[in-house]
Structure 1
Amino acid sequence: MRCPLCHVLIAATLLCNVLLLYYTWHLNSRPAGRQSPSPTLSPGITVIVREFRTFEHGLADLNHSFLRARPNLRILIASEALPYPPVPGLNILRIHPSPEQPVSAFRLESQIHTRLVALVPDGTSLNPPDLLDKMARALRDAPSAVRIVAAGAGPVLQCLHLNVSLRTWTAEYTVVSAGETCGAVSGSAVLLMRSRDLFDLPFPLARPVQSTIFIQAALRGWGVKVLKEATFPRTPLPATDHGKWKAEQADRAEEAATMRALNIRLVRGLEGGDRWYGCSKETQRCFGTVVGETPEYLYEGRWTPPCCLRALRITLLHVVKVLEASNVRYWLEGGSLLGAARHKDLIPWDYDVDIGIYLEDITLCPELRGAQGGSLVDSDGFVWERAVEGDFFRVQYSQTNHLHVDLWPFYPRDGVMTRDSWTGHPQDIEFSESFLQPLQTLPFAGAVVQAPNNHVELLKLKFGDRAIEEPQYPNPALLKMNRR
């Protein structure tokens, strides 16, 4: 007996199963890395307050001032820890993940839904109410290269040019000439930028916010427009002497950590002189063991960190002072002599200093005599020791920081300077004692030091005819210099 209704039900069931299978296959076949697009940013401005101290702040007053002027404004207080004492009514954006929260809670994209974002320091007031709107219009009308608008928060801002050299680990500020685009500003400021640009930065809210933003902007070629006609009233915080002291301590520690994360070891051109980050006597050097004469930073397209070069210069000058006081005959050797001829300084990618000495003069120097049996720490904290790699001496910057000067003992044999042990480096060869009789002086590393006479000919003998004119990394077989 036929059952048309049964046939219809069976067909419908099969069709539903087919559709379900197709839908399941479609979901599973989507690429794993594909994510749903982020929500479209809406008009408006989100205010982020990052520059404040949890122990003494004016967040309640700032929050009240901005919301009184713009009731619909969203204000985020970005912090690793909650302000103390607690302030009711604040929207806290936690910087570091917390195990009980989803990872999305710590992403800026999940907290900021406006096209623009303003980075505002603590103590700032929004008066008059349209200051943020003026900044927004200035950003809208600015050339495409301008990605940040700055308005003073208290004192008048100074427009600066910022050159960031990753190769030399340096950020250098200079005063901008008339008509040039700013790359940074000095002075406390409110910064306005597009949210998508902030999202693009790997360190969007690292302290100190201004310099961190400007360094990342400089690497991307972004300009900064200073809105001279707009100034935000601001009360500097912390206000108490104890709070200022605590803030200064925290500022220095955070700045050092952030600059190291940004691979900046020297900041020049700001008030207070050069700022160094790394390679003190209390810290280890900025790179590890050197393999094949090729430090790890060369593979990253960088030269020796400037703080390390500074420590090497300090160690060299100390060693020269000790040797001269002891009447030890010494001279610049190897790559250090090459640096003196080419740069009147260390080679920018070198990692130690080489000095030759007469073997018979070792007994004249108390530090060298003390180092023969092990190691000696002198009154200035430098470590004199016999090197474990061979029959030579080494002077380290400190017991913790092993940046060093190597002292190579030579002696004459039939008019030729030789040694009892060699390193195997191509330039490590015997040479005529006539290059040392007499010694001459050369400018090197900020001082005048002893060097072989006719040093250009000696360098040709050691490194080749074009060594001065054609720089090369220490071991071209491992890594050649890109001369672009």
Structure 2
Amino acid sequence: MRLRVTLNKCTTITLTLINLLILYLLWTTQSANKLQYTQDLRITTNVTTTAHDENELIISKNLMYKIIKKDITFVFRQYENYDNDLIASVASLRNMLPNSQIIILTDRFIYPVLKLNATIKIVKIMPSLENNYDQRNVLSHVKTKYIMFLSDSLRFTSVQVFIKMIQQLQLKSTQIVSVSVALSKQCYNVNIDVKRWTLQFINQSSNICDYVESDRQMILVKKKLLHSLTDAFMQPFPAAFYIQTSYLKYKVKLLDVSDNLIKPGRKLFTNVQNSWKYEQLNKDRWKDMCKKLGFKKIIHVDNSTDWFGCRKNTPRCFGTVVNKIPQYIYEGKWTPPCCLNALRQTGVRVLSELENKKLRYWLLDTSLLGAFHMGDILPWSYHIDIGLYREDVDKSEWLSRSATSPITDDEGFIWERLNNGHLYRVQFSHVNRIHVNLYTYTLTNNTFMVSRYNTTFNKFYSSFIKPLSRIKFIDYYVSAPNNIRHFLQLFFPNKHIDDPVKLLNVTKK
């Protein structure tokens, strides 16, 4: 009996020790794993550039795989319905990352219909009766920290390309990471002048820039960055995306990776019809983007210029002017460059006529102020003002013929006399009413007075234009009063003469 009790005690003690040993081993294993994860996380979130090459930063591969699988949503935006390689591109991605989260964005119903796995989400972002705001809100469908934009027709051969991009994005100095799959790629800096409605591309030899031009590329960003853009998914993509990020001073890091990590897929737009369709769509998208973002002029790296504003056969870019202040002034902008270009052409046409026919004329008002201050039209002007002798009107065929009814000259400019007095106006075209005003003056008792028309410069002594002087204006030397500063002082305070922007600020009040 005593022996049986002893055996029971030994068995109980032995089992207790075994259980304690098992608990100890489990605790040590969990502590080690927790420590490793903490170290991995610390390495990931506090990456430094002590390595010889930023692209070779050492980060736990296990943690990188976890981030790629759970923290990245892959988005296809850059593709065409009529000719795409989406099915093969998606299959290639899924072969590499079986459970990857994939979203395909579309402006309209995708046709021909794509036979895709049900786990792949298609988000229609254009408004329609069947499509409410929440359904169109792309970011509401993204639950991950990162978004990777993928161009169409890509083949993934290694997960290393994703790891390199994630590593690079961990650096505090990096907001956007791009990998180009095409042979032809170029980094540009972007100069955005909102006030002048102008977008300029500048060549950049560095791999850190504002804009990456490439037919096929991968772009990795943090989701929160997209919230700061006006429309992160605007077409043409990624051009519109890069323009918006460059405005906010976000830089792009263009990574060089081995061709073995990612390859181009099927060649697209190989027939003439699809190639033409793609070219036309791209032009229309650029035009639509410029309208939405407020660009009228785009200057390319070779200094060629694309205009997206008004022309001779279209109305000017602003409507009726109320109280002599155009709408764009209140928006904090200056005259749209297309309108300014039209005004310059109209000014050259009128001044050449006055010069060739030897009419006595002079610049007036803010046109003279612009010539005095900068030798050109003030960048917010929407018309040019010129004074001339009333008795010289008949020297010009176009002025004399327009006295009874408007007339179009050989270059399409419209010459007319307004009904409220001896004011003549020359317009850029019938449709585009950018214009030059010609005020006719008569001499009475050594004083020049404008004929039956109320203007700021309606009266001044004849000594200011006897004799006339010359001043640079629109790349020419034209007639002006002989004591320009004194003449301007009759109508503008000195502070406005020396800094015309102050005059603009006063006018807006």
TM-score by length of 1: 0.82
In structure 2, distance between residues paired with 1:321 and 1:233: 60
Count of aligned pairs? 435
Establish whether residue 57 from structure 1 lines up as the match of residue 69 from structure 2: no
Corresponding residue SS for 2:284: helix
1:117 corresponds to which residue? 147
- Give the CA deviation at 1:339: 0.4
Q: 1:419 to 1:50 in 2, by over 3 A?
A: same
- Does 50-59 or 351-360 show the bigger shift? 50-59
- Give the CA deviation at 1:377: 2.3
- Give the CA deviation at 1:479: 2.1
In structure 1, distance between residues paired with 2:95 and 2:419: 70
Aligned 1:348-367 pairs, distance under 5 A: 348-367=379-398
In structure 2, distance between residues paired with 1:284 and 1:413: 40
In structure 1, distance between residues paired with 2:287 and 2:212: 20
In structure 2, distance between residues paired with 1:477 and 1:151: 50
Give structure 1 regions of 4+ aligned residues with deviation exceeding 6 angstroms: none
Q: 1:389 to 1:323 in 2, by over 3 A?
A: same
Corresponding residue SS for 1:456: helix
Q: 1:255 to 1:150 in 2, by over 3 A?
A: same
8 Å CA contact 1:303–1:348 kept in 2: the answer is yes
Q: Percent identity?
A: 30
In structure 1, distance between residues paired with 2:432 and 2:247: 31
2:168 corresponds to which residue? 138
User: What letter is aligned with 1:384?
Assistant: W
Aligned counterpart in structure 2 of residue 462 of structure 1, from 491, 496, 505: 491
- Give the CA deviation at 1:107: 0.7
8 Å CA contact 1:42–1:114 kept in 2: the answer is no
- Give the CA deviation at 1:132: 2.8
Corresponding residue SS for 1:280: coil
Aligned counterpart in structure 2 of residue 281 of structure 1, from 298, 312, 317: 312
In structure 2, distance between residues paired with 1:245 and 1:397: 34
Corresponding residue SS for 2:114: coil
Q: 1:124 to 1:434 in 2, by over 3 A?
A: farther
Establish whether residue 199 from structure 1 lines up as the match of residue 227 from structure 2: yes
In structure 2, distance between residues paired with 1:176 and 1:150: 15
1:157 corresponds to which residue? 185
In structure 2, distance between residues paired with 1:323 and 1:286: 28
In structure 1, distance between residues paired with 2:115 and 2:256: 35
1:106 corresponds to which residue? 136
In structure 2, distance between residues paired with 1:112 and 1:276: 37
Aligned counterpart in structure 1 of residue 196 of structure 2, from 157, 165, 168: 168
1:67 corresponds to which residue? 94
In structure 2, distance between residues paired with 1:307 and 1:58: 40
Aligned counterpart in structure 2 of residue 187 of structure 1, from 214, 229, 242: 214
Corresponding residue SS for 2:105: strand
Give the gaps of 5 or more residues in structure 1.
1-40
2:236 corresponds to which residue? 208
8 Å CA contact 2:346–2:428 kept in 1: the answer is yes
Alignment RMSD: 2.7
Which digits, 9 at most, give the CA deviation of each residue in 1:240-267, with x for residues without a partner? 2222222222212211221121122222
CA radius of gyration, larger in: 2
In structure 1, distance between residues paired with 2:69 and 2:193: 36
1:219 corresponds to which residue? 247
Aligned 1:324-339 pairs, distance under 5 A: 324-339=355-370
8 Å CA contact 2:421–2:451 kept in 1: the answer is no
Corresponding residue SS for 2:220: strand
Aligned counterpart in structure 2 of residue 93 of structure 1, from 123, 140, 149: 123
Which digits, 9 at most, give the CA deviation of each residue in 1:380-433, with x for residues without a partner? 2222222356431112222222111111112222332221133343xx232233
